[in-house]
Amino acid sequence: MDLVIVESPSKAKTVEKYLGKGYKVEASMGHIRDLPKSKLGVDVDNDFEPTYVESKAKADVIKQLKETAKKAKKVYLAGDPDREGEAISWHLAHILGIPENEPVRVTFNEITKTGVSQGMANPRPIDMDLVNAQQARRILDRIVGYKLSPFLWRKVRKGLSAGRVQSVAVKMIVDREREINSFKPEEYWSVDAKFTDPPSRKVFEAQFVSLDGKKTELKDKADADAVLDRVKDQSFTVDKVRRSVRRKSPAPPFTTSTMQQDASRKLGFQTARTMKTAQQLYEGVEIEGMGAVGLITYMRTDSLRISDEARNAASDYILNAYGKQYLPGSPRVYKSKNNAQDAHEAIRPSTPSIAPDSIKSSLSSDQYKLYKLIWERFIASQMANQILDTVSADITANGALFRATGYSVKFPGFAVLYTDGKDDDEKKELPEINEGDKLSLKGIEGKQHFTQPPPRYTEGSFIKALEEEGIGRPSTYAPTISTIINRFYVEREGKSLKPTGLGEVTTDLLTDNFQKYVDTKFTASMEESLDDVELGKKDWRETLGEFYGDFANTLSEAEINMDGKRVKVPDEETDEICEICGKPMLIKLGRFGRFLGCSGFPECTNTKKIIKPTGGMCPKCGKNILLKKSKKGRKYYGCEDNPTCDFMTWDIPVSDKCPKCNDGTTLFKNKGRLFCVKCGYETAARKDK
């Protein structure tokens, strides 16, 4: 019997199915050794020598693995195919007494029969460049966290944390919020006209462009009125019509970053939810009639490369499902970014012939939605271009030029399956108009506008910004966002990310005293140095040494500059009034997170949980319905008058009221339908609900 050690039980189950008899597959349950929690665990004076300790929580797992390994003919280490998986394999080799140069390391880019067979057929020694890259990142993050966090404890409050990537991430969100707050809107106007072409009577729109051949900005109402006066009682003529054909190419297959962005935008998934679901799809899902199947390739990658086998499988599917015209003239190959790590393929279905709807009954809702997104994006990436007929018409009246644009789909191509969601413009078809045609004016008006500040980051747009700035890597985006929210530096407001008062004061403190270490360019250059360790171009200990000397000096200077000083975290004002003393309640930060406390403290000690009303009213007693959490963290909705009123539901209250009851009764949403719990009224939910 040979022993194969993977990281999780679900992956173990799928791999064991493909290996069959003669193999035993066990799970290490992630890392089994790490730096100690109680101390730094790194000897900075002795070439950054780390001290690793076995996880107490994994004592039974370690014992089981040792016993099984003793009985095995050979042990294979099959952690995930990245630096974390390599490091886990290295630690396992140490605990099990396996020499580093033994060819025992196997990796699976996909958990399929082919992927597992290929991995087992190509065992290799542990890649120490990958291991050292993981060690360098782990030790660097430990040094920053364990050295900077106590500084924050002394200068702000106990329990705070700082991090090499997390502190830069918080600063980016703080900087965006301040950019929004300092933004001064500027007025501008547009003049929009509606016309009909007499033969067709179809109404279409055109926008003012220029006056007397010069592009004209309309800064105020007077400018807009001048245009309106110029064309008053004038005839409008089609001066020029330009027709062309536009070819639109499909988006490439997903990387980790683009998958997270699209799942956020299209599915409303938070990043951690996306990665958890993707991990399940990669490790294997029990499919009716097929057993445990790994449905996607490895989900932590920034490569756009795909195998010839997968490309051919996609072409076969497209040919059979859509026909030859939906295949491009030559197979599509996408080029990865220059700094992409090309060890893995792009994220794609392991078996492209498995369409999402064919296995929907075997998947959870999240698994189905994400698999469908990944499958459609990949298949579409191998399809023919969309072809659009475009038209642009210049319309003139007394020297004023208006322009109407539109397009129609000549051939849908890849868009029959997938669109990237970035084009919000609806299809606009213009009537058949020609140069010299006289148009009928149906209406014309000046419209006031104001320039808008940049929007707050959503999780999707923030991941895009992190990637563009070179902050973190595919494996770190989700944990970084979770960390800064869980530690109350950032909060969600709807789908947006907003800094808290704590996030702002800690950012200011770190910027004033550690400016270099919260600078995006410096952090990006550090990421590149760590990537060079992974590629074998730099020594990991030297890389740590280059960082630590200046960092230690900066920390010493900060201690001197802040000697005897403390920074207060500002309380946030609310509209809520204390029911005991009548003073305003404030949002405060305590050991266990944010809470409401009376501004009259210490005379009034009233405190309570922060609970956001949903806008719905309890159908039993008429009081507010609140969003709550069960002991296991599951969200539900209940009456604010609990325990007097016992109403609770898993269904989502919406702003719509029951038209049948006609007494303001709240409707609830479940699986695309709106319904009333009092009278049984039911209707389909609108897309915006």
| Range in 177-181, 335-339, 387-391, 605-609 with the lowest mean pLDDT | 335-339
The set of residues, in sequence order, having a beta carbon less than 8 Å from that of 536 and lying 6+ positions away, is 129
Same domain, yes or no: 121 and 22:
yes
pLDDT at 157: 86
Using one digit for the tens of pLDDT, what is the confidence trace for 329-344? 999 999 877 655 556 7
Confidence tier at 426 by pLDDT (50, 70, 90)? very low
CATH number of the domain encompassing residue 229: 2.70.20.10
Q: What values do phi and psi take at 280, rounded to 5?
A: -65, -45
Distance (Å, whole) CA 598 – CA 103: 65
| Sequence-distant (≥ 6) Cβ neighbours of residue 667 within 8 angstroms | 653, 654, 656, 657, 658, 674, 675, 676, 681
Q: Tell me whether residue 616 is in a domain.
A: no
Sign of the torsion angle spanned by Cα atoms 312, 317, 323, 326: negative
* pLDDT exceeds cutoff 70 at 124: yes
H helices of 470-595, in order, are: 477-486, 501-513, 520-534, 540-561
Task: Convert 420-439 to b/e letters by CB count within 10 Å (16 or more is b).
Answer: beeeeeeeeebbebeeebeb
Indicate whether 573 belongs to any domain.
Answer: no
* Residue 239 CA: distances (Å) to CA of 193, 395, 471, 541, 616: 16, 5, 51, 70, 55
The answer to whether residue 636 is domain-embedded is no
- 439 phi/psi in degrees, rounded to 5: -110, 150
Among 432, 450, 468, which residue terminates a domain? 450
441 and 543 both lie in a single domain: no
Q: Which of 541, 561, 581 is the last residue of a domain?
A: 561
| Known catalytic membership, residue 188 | no
pLDDT given at position 573: 84
C-alpha span between 388 and 406 (Å, rounded):
10
Unique residue bearing structure tokens 């990387």: 255
With pLDDT > 70 as the criterion, what percentage of the chain qualifies? 97
Q: Which residues, other chains included, contact 158 with Cβ-Cβ below 8 Å and sequence gap of 6+?
A: none
pLDDT surpassing 70 at residue 425: no
Give, as one character, the DSSP assignment of residue 565.
-
202 vs 216: CA distance, rounded Å: 28
pLDDT digits over 203-234, tens only?
Answer: 999 999 999 999 999 999 999 999 999 999 99
Q: Mean pLDDT throughout 107-125? A: 94
Domain tally, the chain = 4
Predicted local confidence at residue 335, as pLDDT:
87
Angle ∠(158,162,163) on CA atoms, nearest 5: 155
**Domain check: are 433 and 533 in the same one?**
no
pLDDT at 421: 57
Q: Residues 194, 220: one domain?
A: yes
- The CATH number covering residue 111 comes to 3.40.50.140
Q: Is 471 a member of any domain?
A: yes
Pair (193, 167) in one structural domain: no
**Catalytic-role residue among 76, 282, 298, 322:** 298
What pLDDT is attached to residue 99? Answer: 92
Residue (of 381, 302, 374) closest to 337 by Cα position: 302
Question: Does a structural domain hold residue 21?
Answer: yes
Tell me the CA distances in angstroms from 225 to 204, 205, 229, 683, one per residue in order.
22, 19, 6, 47
Q: Cβ-count burial of 676 within 10 angstroms (0-12 exposed, 13-18 middle, 19+ buried)?
A: buried
Q: Strands, E, within 197-235: which ranges?
A: 203-211, 214-215
Give tens-digit pLDDT for 379-406.
999 999 999 999 999 999 999 999 999 9
Share of residues in the chain with pLDDT > 90 (%): 77
Residue 687 lies in a domain: no
Question: Using CA of residue 403, residue 404, residue 409, residue 413, what is the dihedral sign?
Answer: positive
- Residue 662 maps to a domain: no
Domain CATH for 275: 1.10.290.10
Whether residue 5 is predicted with pLDDT greater than 80 in this model: the reply is: yes
Cis amide leading into 356 (omega within 30): no
CATH number, domain with residue 486: 1.10.460.10
* Mean confidence (pLDDT) of the chain: 91
Query: pLDDT (tens digit, 9 = 90+) per residue, 496-554?
Result: 999 999 999 999 999 999 999 999 999 999 999 999 999 999 999 999 999 999 999 99
Which one-letter DSSP state was computed for residue 132? H
Q: Are residues 266 and 347 in the same domain?
A: yes
The pLDDT confidence band at residue 159, using thresholds 50, 70 and 90, is confident
pLDDT digits (tens, 9 = 90+) for 239-295: 999 999 999 999 999 999 999 999 999 998 999 999 999 999 999 999 999 999 999
- For residue 245, give the amino acid letter: V
Q: Are residues 323 and 352 in the same domain?
A: yes
Coil, strand or helix: which one is 466? helix
Rounded (5°) CA angle 68-72-74 = 125
Q: Say what the pLDDT of residue 688 is.
A: 52
CA angle 70-76-80, nearest 5°?
Answer: 130
Rounded Cα gap, residues 338 and 163, in angstroms? 27
Residue 580 has pLDDT above 90, yes or no: yes
Rg (CA), the chain: 30
Q: Do residue 31 and residue 115 come from a single domain?
A: yes
Of 561, 596, 629, the one marking the end of a domain is 561
Please state whether beta strands 23-27 and 2-6 pair in parallel, antiparallel, or not at all (unpaired): parallel
The reply to whether 212 and 274 lie within a common domain is no
**Residue 75's domain spans which residues?**
2-126
Whether 352 and 501 map to the same domain: the answer is: no
Asked if residue 176 is part of any domain, the answer here is yes
At 417, give phi and psi (nearest 5°): -115, -40
Residues 97 and 199 in one domain: no
Please indicate, yes or no, whether residues 244 and 344 belong to a single structural domain of this protein: no
Q: What are phi and psi of 461, to 5 degrees?
A: -70, -30
Confidence of residue 423 (pLDDT cuts 50, 70, 90): very low
Model pLDDT, residue 417: 95
pLDDT mean over 26-48: 94
